[in-house]
């Protein structure tokens, strides 16, 4: 059955048999006693504690192993009795490509989701579905504690594992002969999880008509993909994108199926395979090892879930029209520069500055960028590269996206600006500042990647965290982040481009974001 048919079938289902029992029916909401709920497939036994009922490791699709590798997701097997839902499921296969962002895994039995709900039984709560980041080659739902969002906003949060890397975003000529949608298996997993939410979230007290899809980094990029994917229509009502950026993707689309198949062919050769039987027999750890030499990500074109050109869809209005909350961190790509320093053990030096810019942006663009971001004007070469990569790759792309969307849908844009934000990664030769991922600990308490150090927030930062959770959950409930006791967050317009600065101690509206990040220069470079 195609994804399109599955989407249509969601709305023909009646969910009368799923009844929320919750902690109120099973025991105290604060003593860690079981919470029970019935869903498609059987009964779940979660845990209710501190006002939150948690159901972890719920199978939403069959393990994509053997013949199901590189196939659209299929229904999981039902179970008898009460399934223990107190522990997270396996993370999908991945290596260490993102440093401490997520832990390595080689287990393909990984298509699990988690539901975090208020422990008191109620109905029609707003739902946030969270797609983890990780460059589309890593990431795991196990790293996000959703209890703060649940308690602050009285919402339900669902976090989802999806296939990543070569196992999640793979195209190969022989797959065409199998006559199924191909390439974006990780995105198909997300669509399948959203269908599970439509069928089952009412059992937890959630409203299937009020679902917000949300993600950070690559997770935000998949949210963008759902906005232009026809088969994702009607599966969500709002969208949150943290640090989606990437002007080359948002402007020019994603690699076509032909380009992706060429990459897949080179991957198969490197793995020693000449057909699908060999590829499907490869051990998962072998796939992860070989994929490190290639770039796997979203694929567009015929027989895939998404169109090729994002920019064309956004400017023409041919996308799924929903309210949008989006933004970036002030020093986004210092995170990437820091990873390079941690991996090499050496800070970037001035004599390697030009080569670093050329490696990131290409030799054609490098001279203009090097002239615009002269290394001598920065405290260190690392900060020069981090600023150039932040502005061109993240900040101005997000601003341009807001410009494109705001004429048709409500858009709220932010910049995370806490200069003293704690960082879970090891120290490097320059300050991280509000780098990539650092806002996550303000929404998911004590976020520290897969194996980073826990760095508690200060009391002032905890106040900001509470406000951010309120903004995010207000938006999920109504499409507007504003609420009582919160600094006003104006709707974005292309005319004056208001951006809410999320800083300590104050949150203020700025209108010079484009100047801060030299977006006029980048508009010329990217030729939108």
SS (H, E, C) 408-438: CCCEEEEEECCCCCCCCCCCCCCCCCCCCCH
Inter-helix orientation angle 334-344/381-389, to 10°: 130
Neighbours of 332 (CB within 10 A): 29
Task: Name residue, tokens 């999981």.
Answer: 76
Distance CA 90, CA 113 (A): 10
Domains and CATH numbers, the chain: 3-316 (3.40.50.1820), 324-526 (3.40.50.1820)
Q: Got the DSSP string for 168-221? A: HEE--HHHHTT-S--EEHHHHHHHHHHHHHHHHGGGGTEEEEEEEEEEETHHHH
Distance CA 426, CA 170 (A): 33
Distance CA 211, CA 156 (A): 9
Distance CA 426, CA 393 (A): 24
Partner residues linked to 300 by β-bridges = 256
Neighbours of 354 (CB within 10 A): 15
Helix (H) / strand (E) containing 501 = strand 499-502
Task: Report the DSSP pairing between strands 324-329 and 52-59.
Answer: unpaired
The whole-number pLDDT of residue 499 equals 98
Distance CA 85, CA 119 (A): 15
The whole-number pLDDT of residue 168 equals 98
Distance CA 423, CA 126 (A): 31
Neighbours of 262 (CB within 10 A): 15
Distance CA 337, CA 385 (A): 7
Q: Are 107 and 90 in contact (CB under 8 A)?
A: yes
The whole-number pLDDT of residue 7 equals 40
Max distance between CA atoms of the chain, in angstroms, equals: 67
Coil, strand or helix at 347:
coil
Main-chain phi, psi angles of 37, to 5 degrees = -150, 145
Q: Got the DSSP string for 116-144? A: EEESS--S-EEEEEEE--STTT---GGG-
Main-chain phi, psi angles of 119, to 5 degrees = -80, -10
Distance CA 83, CA 479 (A): 35
If the chain, 528 residues long, is cut into consecutive pieces of 10 residues, what is the mean pLDDT of each piece?
41 35 36 80 95 97 97 97 96 82 91 96 91 94 97 97 97 89 95 98 97 97 95 97 74 83 97 97 97 93 87 90 98 96 95 96 94 98 97 93 95 98 96 98 95 95 98 98 97 97 97 97 80
Q: Are 490 and 507 in contact (CB under 8 A)?
A: no
Q: Which residues contact residue 86 at a Cβ distance below 8 angstroms, ignoring those fewer than 6 apart?
A: 45, 46, 47, 54, 56
Catalytic residues, which ones?
Answer: 217
In three state form, how does the secondary structure of 220-273 look?
HHHHHHHHHCHHHCCCCCEEEEECCCCHHHHHHCCCEHHHHHHHHHHHHHHHCC
């Amino acid at each position: 059955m195609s994804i399109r048919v599955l989407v249509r079938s969601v709305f023909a289902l009646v969910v009368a048999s799923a009844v929320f029992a919750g902690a109120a029916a099973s025991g105290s909401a604060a003593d860690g006693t079981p919470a029970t709920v019935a869903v498609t497939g059987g009964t779940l036994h979660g845990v209710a504690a501190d006002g939150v009922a948690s159901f972890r490791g719920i199978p939403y699709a069959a393990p994509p192993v053997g013949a199901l590798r590189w196939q659209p997701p299929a229904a999981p097997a039902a179970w008898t009795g009460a399934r223990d839902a107190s522990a997270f499921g396996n993370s999908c296969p991945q290596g260490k490509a993102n440093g401490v962002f997520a832990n390595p895994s080689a287990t393909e039995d990984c298509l699990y989701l988690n539901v975090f709900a208020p422990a008191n039984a109620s109905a029609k709560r707003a739902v946030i579905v969270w797609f983890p980041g990780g460059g589309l080659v890593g990431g795991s739902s196990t790293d996000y504690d959703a209890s703060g969002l649940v308690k602050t906003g009285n919402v339900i949060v669902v976090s989802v594992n999806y296939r990543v890397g070569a196992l999640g975003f793979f195209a190969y000529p022989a797959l065409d002969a199998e006559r199924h949608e191909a390439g974006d298996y990780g995105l198909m997993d997300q669509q399948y999880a959203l269908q599970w939410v439509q069928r089952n979230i009412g059992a937890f007290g959630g409203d299937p008509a009020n679902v917000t899809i949300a993600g950070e980094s690559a997770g935000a990029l998949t949210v963008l993909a759902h906005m232009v994917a026809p088969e994702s229509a009607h599966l969500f009502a709002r969208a949150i994108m943290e640090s989606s950026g990437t002007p080359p993707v948002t402007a020019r689309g994603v690699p076509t199926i032909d380009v992706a198949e060429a990459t897949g062919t080179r991957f198969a050769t490197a793995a020693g395979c000449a057909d699908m039987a060999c590829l499907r027999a490869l051990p998962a750890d072998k796939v992860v090892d070989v994929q490190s030499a290639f770039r796997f990500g979203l694929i567009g074109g015929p027989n895939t879930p998404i169109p090729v050109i994002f920019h064309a869809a956004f400017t023409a209005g041919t996308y799924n029209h929903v309210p949008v909350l989006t933004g970036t961190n002030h020093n986004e790509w210092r995170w990437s520069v820091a990873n390079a320093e941690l991996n090499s053990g050496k800070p970037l030096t001035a004599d390697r500055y030009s080569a670093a810019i050329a490696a990131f942006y290409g030799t054609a663009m490098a001279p203009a960028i090097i002239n615009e971001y002269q290394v001598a004007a920065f405290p260190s070469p690392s900060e020069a590269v981090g600023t150039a990569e932040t502005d061109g790759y993240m900040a101005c792309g997000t601003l341009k996206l807001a410009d494109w969307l705001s004429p048709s849908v409500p858009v709220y844009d932010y910049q995370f600006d806490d200069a003293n934000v704690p960082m879970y990664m090891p120290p490097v030769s320059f300050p991280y500042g509000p780098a990539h991922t650092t806002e996550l600990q303000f929404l998911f308490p004590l976020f520290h990647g897969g194996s980073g150090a826990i760095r508690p927030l200060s009391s002032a930062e905890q106040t900001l965290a509470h406000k951010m959770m309120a903004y995010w959950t207000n938006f999920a409930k109504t499409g507007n982040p504003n609420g009582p006791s919160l600094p006003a967050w104006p709707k974005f317009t292309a005319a004056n481009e208001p951006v809410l600065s999320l800083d300590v101690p104050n949150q203020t509206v700025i209108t010079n974001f484009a100047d801060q990040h030299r977006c006029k220069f980048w508009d010329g470079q990217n030729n939108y």
